[in-house]
Structure 1
């Protein structure tokens, strides 16, 4: 069955002359466009393009239509209309489990991306922490895809029957009250922050254990004045002068005034973001959604630093 998403991508590749240009126009990565065209070639049973060697990266190479592609394009409107009718009747429902900061800052950007509307996915969303979301994959199959994070080697476990795909990393940053008078460009070692008031995760959680070990390894011994697993609450308390906090960059997209984001070389920690997909859910539409998610998170990562 020919995927209409691939046909629309084919039109842009031919019109613009390269996978990279089509990717920019459609909001995909160049590799995603290349994969779509390879899938279309498999579905049609013919080679549609001749890739030139004008670029170091194959996905950025200029492409030349073969006579088979020209034949396909002679009746492209008919093909797309027929495929669209089929696509409308086979639109895929996707039951998505997602953790709060990804739902707050990444998912809305995907839903506003023109590429999303072309995927033909009917989304059903459940926002929860990773442990609860993973249970949705286990218990009766309430979810089709789970988007989770892992800090270090924290104790998350998922069924062996699921496919795990890395989406990206959400780096932690040190946040200080601006009232402390330490500027964002200040050179501060971790042990300089020892004995200062800190807002920490609740003891016993997997994140707290990893952070405690990291702090101990760089001789940072915080004086805990608050426990909070809500990053927005931690940011507001830091802005009010209560203490320092360790907050992931996604939460910093809407940070309040009154806080300073500090780069401390010894404190390098990230939430590794993964998509967990049961093997039967690995359709072309779902794979394109995962690629769109990874691309959106990557673009946010290039713009959210000070």
Structure 2
């Protein structure tokens, strides 16, 4: 009989890439991880790891074991969900990763609602961009992720995860009052604030500008949209910002519509088998209620 704990370590190595990363995530020493995987090799009678320079790589046989381990863990996840659903009260904790604007606009009200409806459920929330959060969800560092997909720039769909749309969040052009601009093409020579190179929002925003016939002069790079909004407010840059941002800060500045009225999709993601876990269901419902309340109160010019 194969040892499930050792199979999980092999899966962790597949997801995290190095023995040191697995050891750090699980609070083991790298030597302890190596010993456990060596015992797994002995149990299976096949080579599972091969050296590639200073790193190790999973063999074909190891990949087979990881695929089956995913299925076993998925069944266990489903068992946990059904067990929790059989209880009268929702208790325990739910670990949530959420990107910045959703953390600011949605999480406080959602956590407050949970505290009233389910006092035995503790939410642990971390702000994290979807590029990092989804692999961490896959690795069981979180139970639920609130993420975003930009138009034509969806997050990679990782095996073992299920995504559910929460809402569409319009994207508009935020322009300082001092800029003489009535549309995107008028900002060809303007300074811009965008997210860093390599991120989905940056690729999308650059593509929008290029489709208007110019390469944006990006003078400010940050994942912090509050900074983007401040740069617009103080007259230093134009930016493309989502409506949800204005639910958490005063404003907005002057907003202009973009061609095609684009919107990003806000979604929640969980591991397969956990969709019906009561804690997941409760947090998703609290997020939806929080968003509905905001949408009713949030009215913007430039729509």
- CA deviations over 1:196-219 (Å, ceiling 9, x no partner): 222222233222111111222233
Separation of aligned partners in 1, 2:179 and 2:185 = 16
In structure 2, do the counterparts of structure 1 residues 284 and 138 end up closer, same or farther at CA, with 3 Å as the change threshold?
closer
CA contact (8 A) 2:171 2:241 kept: yes
How far 1:223 moved relative to its partner?
Answer: 3.1
Q: Give the 5 Å matches for 1:154-303.
A: 154=153, 156-180=155-179, 188-219=182-213, 221-255=215-249, 260-266=253-259, 268-281=261-274, 282-303=276-297
CA contact (8 A) 1:218 1:266 kept: no
1:108 and 2:101 matched: no
Separation of aligned partners in 2, 1:267 and 1:197 = 23
In structure 2, do the counterparts of structure 1 residues 134 and 256 end up closer, same or farther at CA, with 3 Å as the change threshold?
same
Cα RMSD between the aligned structures?
2.5
How many residues are treated as equivalent by the alignment? 212
- CA deviations over 1:25-53 (Å, ceiling 9, x no partner): xxxxxxxxxxxxxxxxxxxxxxxxxxxxx
How far 1:105 moved relative to its partner?
Answer: 1.4
Separation of aligned partners in 2, 1:131 and 1:149 = 10
Separation of aligned partners in 2, 1:265 and 1:202 = 21
Separation of aligned partners in 1, 2:124 and 2:230 = 31
Give structure 1 regions of 4+ aligned residues with deviation exceeding 6 angstroms: none
Separation of aligned partners in 2, 1:201 and 1:267 = 21
Separation of aligned partners in 2, 1:298 and 1:215 = 32
CA contact (8 A) 1:100 1:129 kept: yes
TM-score w.r.t. the length of structure 2 is 0.62
In structure 2, do the counterparts of structure 1 residues 254 and 124 end up closer, same or farther at CA, with 3 Å as the change threshold?
closer
CA contact (8 A) 2:111 2:286 kept: no
- Residue of structure 2 equivalent to 1:81: none
- CA deviations over 1:76-109 (Å, ceiling 9, x no partner): xxxxxxxxxx645x61421112122211210101
Stretches of structure 1 that go unaligned for 5 or more consecutive residues are 1-85, 183-187
How far 1:226 moved relative to its partner?
Answer: 2.3
CA contact (8 A) 2:173 2:258 kept: no
Separation of aligned partners in 2, 1:254 and 1:165 = 24
Separation of aligned partners in 2, 1:204 and 1:238 = 23
Separation of aligned partners in 2, 1:152 and 1:252 = 20
- Residue of structure 2 equivalent to 1:17: none
Separation of aligned partners in 2, 1:111 and 1:204 = 32
Stretches of structure 2 that go unaligned for 5 or more consecutive residues are 1-86
TM-score w.r.t. the length of structure 1 is 0.61
How far 1:151 moved relative to its partner?
Answer: 1.0
In structure 2, do the counterparts of structure 1 residues 239 and 256 end up closer, same or farther at CA, with 3 Å as the change threshold?
farther
In structure 2, do the counterparts of structure 1 residues 277 and 154 end up closer, same or farther at CA, with 3 Å as the change threshold?
same
